[in-house]
Structure 1
Amino acid sequence: MNNTAETERTFDVVVVGGGAAGLAGALTLARARRSVLVLDSGSPRNAPAAHLHGYLGRDGAAPAELLAVGRAEVAAYGGEVRSGAAGTAVAADRAEEGGFLVRCRDGSAVRAGRLLLATGLVDELPELPGLRERWGRDVLHCPYCHGWEVRDRPVAVLATGPLAVHQAQTWRNWSDRVTLLAHSWQPAPEDRELLGALGVAVVEGVATGLTVDGDGLAGVTLAGGGSLACRALVVAPRFTARAGVAASLGLPVAAAERDGVVVGSCLDADPATGATALRGVWAAGNLTSPLDQLAAAAAAGVRAAVAVNADLIEEETRLALEAYRNGRGGA
């Protein structure tokens, strides 16, 4: 661990995670005149995407640009942002004297009266050569993030589970040339009927790789030598919570579900306030709600920050009242 002085720095709130949820929460707290530190590991989920969409006032901006602006806004109100090893929290513990001690990868540690966890998630993609390299470009999962950019183009849905039918149905809103590739999951007869009614063809075959034309996706190669032409490939990632710090505090992850299907993991937190099962710890963003888009994650960060500040006010009021009563009684 680094020198003792480094471990003695205390903040009202330490925000673990420097994405939209964490920065929005930090900005709210800094404007509430709280001492705030954001620990940012520098691995945002949307880094592979060239542009972000659906975020009012910033539509089409580069993800890195939004985060840079957010960090500057937090700093303008006195908040502090650390990145790299010094900004990568690896564990947190309850401090004997109250609050929390947060340990970072470089060996340093900081103290916090309250914690806001906004560490996000990791998209675990299906095993297919070339998939990761095109993730966020023309290998996609969210039509609200990327549908407009591939509108009217041929879109293939890689079926790896029952949600593939829902994906095909939804993407049909952006293109009338949607095909479902029965890769590792077969649609039931009623699913095939629904897809047929929507004009979505079902192609049998196991994907073995991708083909590229210039800088764009051209299609999917199939076992046996066939291929399926497409300009966008829709996949269903597994949304795995980045929950290392939460786990160090004894907060377990839960299954994240959609329509009764497990799609990953998340940290349980109150949907209105972000409060977790551990007093003094709040959570926001994709860590707690994997399907939230950027704007919703930022909004969750603000809601959690308001709840954190209200908790600090309540504690300060209680202490002031105790001191007032003790002083009056002594007089």
Structure 2
Amino acid sequence: MTDELDSSCDVVVVGGGAAGLNGALMLARARRSVMVIDAGAPRNAPAEGIHGLLGREGMAPGELLDRGRAEVRGYGGRIVTGEVTRVTRADGGFDVELADGRTTRTRRLLVTTGLVDELPHVAGLRERWGRDVVHCPYCHGWEVRDRAIGVIANGPMAVHGALLFRQWTDDVVLFTHTTAAPTGEAAEKLAARRIPVITGPVAALEIRDDRISGVRLADGTVVAREVVTVGSRMVARSDVLRQLGLEPVEHPSGAGEYIPADAMGRTGVEGVWVAGNVTDLTAQVGAAAAGGAFAAAQINADLVEEETRLAVVDHRRDFAAELEAEVSEQVVGDRRHGI
């Protein structure tokens, strides 16, 4: 068994993160031919460890993926390195083309391409992302506990984020950046939790000894901080899905854009399923993996139904042919006996 791209398979999984690998594992265990095509750009690559995943707490993201790939291969699945650039309908399935020109044909698609985090234009923010610029208290809160945290507003969830991080430290400051200052009940909540609000645009992060030392405002003021948290705008990686007529929609929370699907990952396009952050923007690793498993089970069931339907057609044809042969034989026999 190699990881070369076959000419055809039952299922192509586009994206090799937790959702894609867990989906592939389920399909391979169901004795399906499955290929995972992965471009090698996981969203959580900058993170030191995975948190909140029972039995794998603190494990490096790369190690989890290495284990997942080995498990998929152990059941006959293939992991192909490459970027899917084109998908088209073909003979009840799909033709899949990679950036380097390789192609394959598949009966079903599971797309687990994840999302892109869009950040405010603040100098130093992207470079520190996943280190001392964080976004999720449940992913990073313990690691930044009791430290001076600055929350840079970037959308409607900023106040909520500041109140959440207040659980892990009593030193939280909210920077409004380019958004309006909180008023009414929101301002009262912040005041009650002793979270100062600093208005005005943020220009840059101050870095000293390869770590954040403060937040610099556009007017030159520097507010000492050790950690910065900012909510990204999360946008599904949907180029492949758009080619099939699946357009991302705005999430009700205003957090970004996602691809709608039912609870089991089935999209509005026949033969196409999605799982992980491409359809569930806030899913952590465990939830993404579970989504991949649910979608895989539905894909296998869909293939079983198709194969059974075709088997019934063949069975009826064979039965009709046998019946016709029996009738013909009976007619010939009757003629021999002068009947």
Amino acid at match of 2:227: A
Partner of 1:224: 219
Q: Secondary structure at the match of 1:217?
A: strand
Alignment partner of 1:305 out of 296, 304, 312? 296
Matches within 5 A, 1:169-180: 169-180=163-174
Structure 1 Cα separation of the partners of residues 282 and 155 of structure 2: 17
Matches within 5 A, 1:103-142: 103-142=97-136
Contact 1:238–1:263 (CA<8 Å) still a contact in 2? yes
Structure 2 Cα separation of the partners of residues 328 and 106 of structure 1: 48
Deviation at 1:82, TM superposition (A): 0.7
| Distance verdict in 2 for CA 1:8–1:158, change over 3 Å | closer
Contact 2:155–2:255 (CA<8 Å) still a contact in 1? no
Check if 1:275 corresponds to 2:266. yes
Q: Secondary structure at the match of 2:92?
A: coil
Q: Secondary structure at the match of 1:257?
A: coil
Contact 2:5–2:80 (CA<8 Å) still a contact in 1? no
Q: Secondary structure at the match of 1:60?
A: coil
Q: Which runs of 5+ in 2 are unaligned?
A: 323-339
Count the aligned residue pairs: 318
Q: State the identity %.
A: 52
Amino acid at match of 2:11: V
Structure 2 Cα separation of the partners of residues 98 and 223 of structure 1: 57
Partner of 1:317: 308
Partner of 2:255: 263
Amino acid at match of 2:139: C
Contact 1:154–1:177 (CA<8 Å) still a contact in 2? yes
| Distance verdict in 2 for CA 1:311–1:230, change over 3 Å | same
Check if 1:167 corresponds to 2:161. yes
Structure 2 Cα separation of the partners of residues 103 and 145 of structure 1: 35
Contact 1:178–1:201 (CA<8 Å) still a contact in 2? yes
Amino acid at match of 2:255: V
Partner of 1:147: 141
Q: Secondary structure at the match of 2:113?
A: coil
Partner of 2:279: 288
Contact 1:126–1:236 (CA<8 Å) still a contact in 2? no
Q: Secondary structure at the match of 1:66?
A: helix
Partner of 1:236: 231
Partner of 1:3: none
Deviations 1:105-156 (A, max 9, x none): 0011110010000000000111011111100111111111101100111111
Structure 2 Cα separation of the partners of residues 8 and 55 of structure 1: 34
Q: Which runs of 5+ in 1 are unaligned?
A: 1-5
Matches within 5 A, 1:74-85: 74-83=72-81
Amino acid at match of 2:221: G
Q: State the TM-score, normalized to the length of structure 2.
A: 0.91
Deviation at 1:99, TM superposition (A): 0.7
**Structure with the greater alpha carbon radius of gyration:** 2
Structure 2 Cα separation of the partners of residues 56 and 110 of structure 1: 36
Structure 2 Cα separation of the partners of residues 63 and 8 of structure 1: 28
Q: CA RMSD, aligned part only?
A: 1.3
